[in-house]
Structures are given as structure tokens and as C-alpha cells.
Chains A and B, each alone.
Chain A
Amino acid sequence: MGFFRRESWNLGLVAILALLFVLTKVVQPNYGASGIVGLAQAALPFAFAAAAQAIVVIVGGIDLSIASMMAVTSVAAAVMMEGASEGQAFWIALFILALGTAMGALNGILIVLTRVPDIVVTLAMLYVWEGVALMILKAPGGGASDWLMGLPIGSIPLPGVPESVSSFLPKALLLLVVCIAVVWVPLKRSKLGLQIYAIGSSEQAAYRTGVPVKRSKVAAYAIAGLFAAMGGLVLTASTGIGAPIPGPYLLASVAAVVLGGVVLGGGRGGLLGPIIAVFILRLVRTILTFLAVDPNVTTIVEGTIMVAVVMVGGVLALRGRRRSAA
């Protein structure tokens, strides 16, 4: 019972996602393994952006520079990997992850030290990182190592599992799950994870109970930077080049966070919800494309879904609370 109540939002999202899959199949009976693999590949950078945004929102902040950080890490990876050997490319990838973490940490340090509101600092950094990306690479270019490009492409050939089943398991999904889990699972169990939730829930109470507020905040922004760097690498991997102009990942990340049950203002939610939300939003797009709906209408539908889900969720949560109180 406790599980269902705690995870009610995520379960609801999974239900919506399942419903959307059914709908997709109805609209486009051919939709199958390749469609799902394609969906996961398309969702991948959005999912990392959402994870990055989620952790910052949980700590009570917001990061407007996520898409720009993805651009910087993407072009940095593309420039460094062009002509590099496979072995070198591995170290370059690690360096890019460290770079992203450092960029996120810088965001956090500026916020904590200057006491300028997070929305202002990260807005400024959005422009700074955008400029940096263009300085690294003036036009789309560079290259990507073959193994990196292979990471998110295709399905997982599991030994002993018939291809008719394994072809439904996108590599991109596996990559996403591994990357997020490696960071999030230990964090969620650690003291730092608890402190991040505590700060988002009540910064003053956290400070008074002895939580190192500044350090934990910087850590949260640094982890967001790490996820953004993963997103940047994925961008380079999927296109084989680096693009210095930030993609549509910032607002999409905020949308996924809101839809994913992370409360703006902090303290509540996790990474799973926003990531499921990314898939929901992507799949809605797919359906509308199949239906040949005007792309401009598509965005209207997306916005409507977001408000509707959050509103219905809020009403249900309120009802649940009333019932448990009575």
C-alpha cells in the first residue's frame, strides 16, 4: 500500500505511457520494434536534460543553462574526437563528463557565493556557455568515435533471447538506465541525496539542522552538469558531429520535470517521473505525426497535456489526502 501511494504519480505516468503505446498501435498498425528503438534514440538527449533539470529543481533551484551546457560538451567532444583513436576517445568521453560536472559546479558556486537568484545566474550562464560553444566550433562539424556512435543505435542482442523479443529492447534505453542509475541510485541512498531533498523542502530548517546547504547545492548543480554532459555526448553520438547551437532541450526539460511529478520549488519527486514524462511527450509527437497533424498544433497539444496532467494529478492527490485524513 505504501509503495502504491508513494509511487502513485509514476504509476500514473506509466499507465498514460502504456495507453499512448496502444493508441500508437491503433493509429499506425505497423508500429513495432523499430518504432520503439527510434523513440528511445530520439528521447535520449531529452531524458538526460530532464534528469539534469530534475535534480536542480529538487534542491529548490532551476538551471536555464542545461541546453547550452549540452552544446558545449557536444562540440568539445566532437572537436576532440575528430581523428582520435578509439582508446583516446574513451578518455575524451570521461574528460567531457568531468567538464560538464565542472561547468555545473561553477553554476552552483556562482549561485551560492553571489547570492544572485539561481534563475538569473543560470540565465547569464546560458549566454556564456552559448558563446563558449561557438568559440569551440563555429559551425556544425568535428567527428565522433565509432564506438560512441554505436552506443545508442539499434537493439540489444541478448544471447538466448529470440530476436523477435530482443529487437524491442533499444540500446538507447539500456544506456539511459545505466547512466542514470550509476549516478542516481547511490546518490538517493547517500547522505548527500537526503540533504538535497531537505534543502529543497525547507532551506531554513535544513540549515538549522546542520545541513551544509551551500556545499550540497553546489553538488546538485554539479550532478546536473554531469547529466548535461551525458546529454551532450549523446548528441554527438547520434549525429556524428557537434552542433554549437543549443537544441530545444531547456524548455523540454522543464516540461518533463513538471509532468514528471517534481514539484517546482523543490523537495519532492525523483528522476524516474521526468524520464517517463520525456517518453510520453515524445510519443505524443509520434502519434500526432502519424496522424499528419500540423506541427504547430502539436505543440499546442503538448502544452495542453502538461497542464491537464498536472491539474488532474493535483486533484487526485488532494482527494487521496482527504480520504486518508478522514
Chain B
Amino acid sequence: MSDERIPLLEASNVTKIFGAVRALTSASLELFSGEIVALLGANGAGKSTLVNVLTGAIRPDSGHVRIRGREFKAASPTDARQSGLIPVYQESSMIPDLSVADNLRLTNTEPAPFRYWLGELGIGQLGLDEEAGGLPLATLRILDLARALASEPEVLLLDEMTAALPTDLVRKVLDVIRSQKARDCGIIFISHRFVEVAAVCDRASVLRDGRTVGNLAIEPGVEDRIVDMMLGGSIDAAAARKAKSADDRAPGLPRLSAKGLSAGTNLADVSFELHRGEVLGVVALEGQGQDELFEVLSGFEKPSGGFIEVEGNKVSFEHPADAIEAGLAYVPGDRAAALLMQRSVRENIALPFSAQVSAWGAIPVKREGERVAEAIERLQIDTRAQGEVRRLSGGNQQKVTIGRWIATGTKTLLLFDPTRGIDIRTKRQIYPLMRKFAKQGASVLYYSSELEEIPLVCDRVIVIFSGRIVDTFNAGDADESTLMRAAHGLALSSAEAA
């Protein structure tokens, strides 16, 4: 890479302050044509802000952005588009109430190249008359990408594009992204998954606390250095220790048992036991029935067959409040569904606690305050922006959703992909927290889409494929490839499970 060339896109010393929060203090980035650069950083490091600056959605306080050496002052996303900079944001930009065809019209996208890219990405058969709002999230992300590619971008900005995609689609997306290098397109790729970064990126640019702290070429073994840069050496690596084996499981009645649970067509005859002091992992590919399982356990949906026992007593939930009453607290994958985004951290954590108070009673503010403070302390929630939860980073928001239940003294947590889209630092804080929580006698059901964290958190793991439990492992034996095979329904014959 000769550095004398003029970069396709260059950001230098970009700063942005929101009220009291310094989102970017000195962010810099260089992107040459035909290059894929990973933009990495823990949550709250400023990635999203930098993306918004580059796409014209936010105006920086100072610093420069240049395209092909020319100063670029994007006042709106439209300006950025006209300069050939096309973003695919973390959330879909498809207008839900419009058909796919109308969504294309809105951005003046030609249907022919769009169709071509849909085909390349494996959903060429999709009807363009479909209303976008009715399509699954993964499909919407593919549509976003296909629309971006169809406009032949000079700079393509992919922000957590792969987060919501199943494994087979991720592979197709990565293939397509790689093919863009030949077109001299420059790509900024943001992902929390190192495997993906290693698979497609040439270089990585690392942000920490709003500052660009490193630029390095992707080569074998670079992951550790990137992690160090992202973390700034502040994390005790030993914190993420290996889980205990399942043998020292607490005796007595299981905290929660599912007996032949079925729900609609997606969940069939699922039985398992969750014990005191245990973290039970759930592994499944996208859409194998894990959503329904959690919805049934948390009282959002009634099972069409089977039943649930808590501490040996058969229970039936009419309403999520019944599940909470029975000590089952559900933390959904979509944080926005669990939080009062415009209220404070304190109120969010105290919410289930105040719900315990009789409806007419006064809220015991002092006791509540103590519990909240304790939860914030235990979870190390970054409270720089505690006035409004929506201004916290994703990782800190997730800590709030978990923290509220810990503060309430819940005995059983149902965590649905709690680390999705969360930075590694927060992840490494959440793992030991769950272990500690279990050690104190609580139980955790832990669904994760990231297989490598299963052995770090769980005691045992059940694998769901096509609505059924197909395997059970001791987490210690469950390396990624074993789990991956089982999750694809490949290990059905090999009954090596515990």
C-alpha cells in the first residue's frame, strides 16, 4: 500500500461532543480504493458517531473529512449519497409501509442491478411487491445491502450489517463484499465478529474512547493485539475463566423444568431442567424455535402443548407478570423492547422493584436507591449519561436490563442473546457476573448466537434444531465446531452427549 496515493476517503481528527459526553475526541480513518477496512472498537468507543459523521447524519464539531482529497462537508445523508458514499446502517433503512419496489423508487435505484445482487445474495426469488414491513429482519438487511450495491457506491459503509444474519447468509454477504474490491470500491466494515473481519478485511482501524488508537494490517494472530487496543489493557483477561463442570450441581428440585413444551409449528416437545446455581446454555441457528421457547417461558405466549414447573410446582402463565411473580425474569434480545429509553438508569433498574409495591403504596425511595446503587456498582454501568437510557451505549443498556432483575432479587434469568452487538469489554464483564449470580444460587437460561461464549458462561448446553432439542453437552466439552455441527442438525447420530 503506497501511502502517497490519495485516499478515497479520509477522516482526520474528527471530534463530536453531545452535551457532557465526548463521543469522539480524535477519530481518524483512511480508506483507499479497492480496500476493506474494519472499524473496530468497544461499544461506546464512538463507532456509530463516526459513521454518522461520515454519512452526513451528524455534523462534527471539528476535524476534516475528505473524499479523493477534496474537503467534504456533508450536511445530510443526501449529500453523502451524491458523493458516492452509501451506508448500510445497523438498523434497516427500508420504509416498512412501502413495497420493496417503492423503496427502490425512493432512492432512484434501478431494479435490474438490485435484482442481480439479490440473486447473488441468495434471495433472487423475492417479489418486489412485498411490503417491506412484513419481511423478516435478515431479508431486510439483505435488501439494504443489495440496494446499496445497486447504486454502485464508491465507498460502502457497512455498520454491523451481519449481526442479524444467519450463518449461511453471512457467508454470502462476505463473498459479495470481497467481490467489490475488484470494482475499486472502498469498504468500511464494522462488525463485532473477528472471524468476519479476518475473512474480508485488509486493515483494521481501532477506536477507543472516541480516539483512533491504532491502524494495523489483518494477519494471523492480530486479534489479540486488536483486543488489547480496544480494551486499553484495562481488562483482567483471567476474568473470563472456564466454567465449572456440571458435577457439582446443587441437589434438590430443579428451579425450572420444561415438560414437553410445544408452541405452534416452531417448537415441539422440548423438555429440560434448569437447576439451582446453573447456567444452562441454549444454542440454535436463527429461527429454530428458541424465540418461541423464551416467549413461552416468560409468559408472552401460551404453550400449545406441555407445561412448565417452577420448584416442582406446575405453573401456567396468563401474562408476563405471572412469570415474573414465579421468579422468571426475561431479558429480550431487543434491548429497546425492555427499556424505558427516555427515562433514567435509576428508574429503569427500579421499575420491576416498584412493580412489587402494592399499586397504591408509595415507592420506598431510600431502599430502592440503595438497591439501584448496588446494581450499578456490581454491573459497572457507565453512568456518564445516566439521565436517559437511550444515550447509553448498547452494552451499558444491556447491563441495565440485566441489572434491574439482579437488583430485584430474581432467582431465574432468561437471557436471550444478551451479548448481541455488544463490545468485548462488556461481554467479559457479563460472563463472570452470570457465574457469580449462579454461584449465589440463581439459575440462568442463556441463549447465545455466539458459540465461543458458551463454554465461558454455561455449565451445560442444550442444542435446538428445527424446534427440538437434538443434543445436550457439558459446556466444558462444547467447543465451537461441536456446537456448530449440532446446531446444523449434523450430530444427530453421534450420541456422545451427556
Task: Please give the residue numbers on chain A whose beta carbons come within 8 Å of chain B beta carbons, in ascending order.
Answer: 2, 191, 194-195, 197-198, 200-202, 205-212, 267-268
Contacts and interface: CB of A to CB of B under 8 A. Distances in A.
B87 interface: yes
A210 B96 contact: no
A210 B77 contact: yes
B16 interface: no
B93 A208 contact: yes
A194 B106 contact: yes
Contacts of B97: 197, 200-202, 267-268
The winner among A195, A205, A206 for most chain B CB atoms within 10 A is A205
Contact of B95 (A2, A191, A198, A212): A198
B13 interface: no
Interface in B121-179: 129, 133
A210 B107 contact: yes
Given A2-B129, A198-B98, A209 B105 contact: no
A208 B77 contact: yes
B388 interface: no
A194 B105 contact: yes
B94 interface: yes
A206 B95 CA distance: 7
Contacts of B95: 197-198, 201-202, 205-206, 209, 267
Contact of B94 (A200, A205, A268): A205
A198 B93 CA distance: 11
Interface in B54-89: 55, 57, 76-78, 81, 87, 89
A209 B93 contact: yes
A240 to B, nearest CB: 43
Nearest to A203: B95
A212 B79 CA distance: 11
Nearest to A321: B134
A210 B102 contact: no
Contacts of A208: 55, 57, 77, 87, 89, 93
A209 B107 contact: yes
Contact of A202 (B55, B77, B96): B96
Given A194-B98, A201-B97, A267-B96, A212 B105 contact: no
Contacts of A198: 95, 98, 106
The winner among B77, B89, B95, B102 for most chain A CB atoms within 10 A is B95
A72 to B, nearest CB: 33
B105 A205 contact: no
B344 interface: no
A-B CB proximity, top 3 nearest: A201-B97, A267-B97, A210-B78
The winner among A200, A210, A268 for most chain B CB atoms within 10 A is A210
Contacts of B87: 208
Given A208-B93, A209-B107, A197 B78 contact: no
Given A205-B92, A210-B76, 5 more contacts: A197-B95, A201-B97, A207-B76, A208-B89, A211-B106
A211 B103 CA distance: 11
Nearest to A326: B265
A212 B97 CA distance: 18
B107 A201 contact: no
A210 B94 CA distance: 12
Given A200-B97, A202-B95, A202-B96, A209 B57 contact: no
A169 to B, nearest CB: 35
The winner among A194, A198, A212 for most chain B CB atoms within 10 A is A198
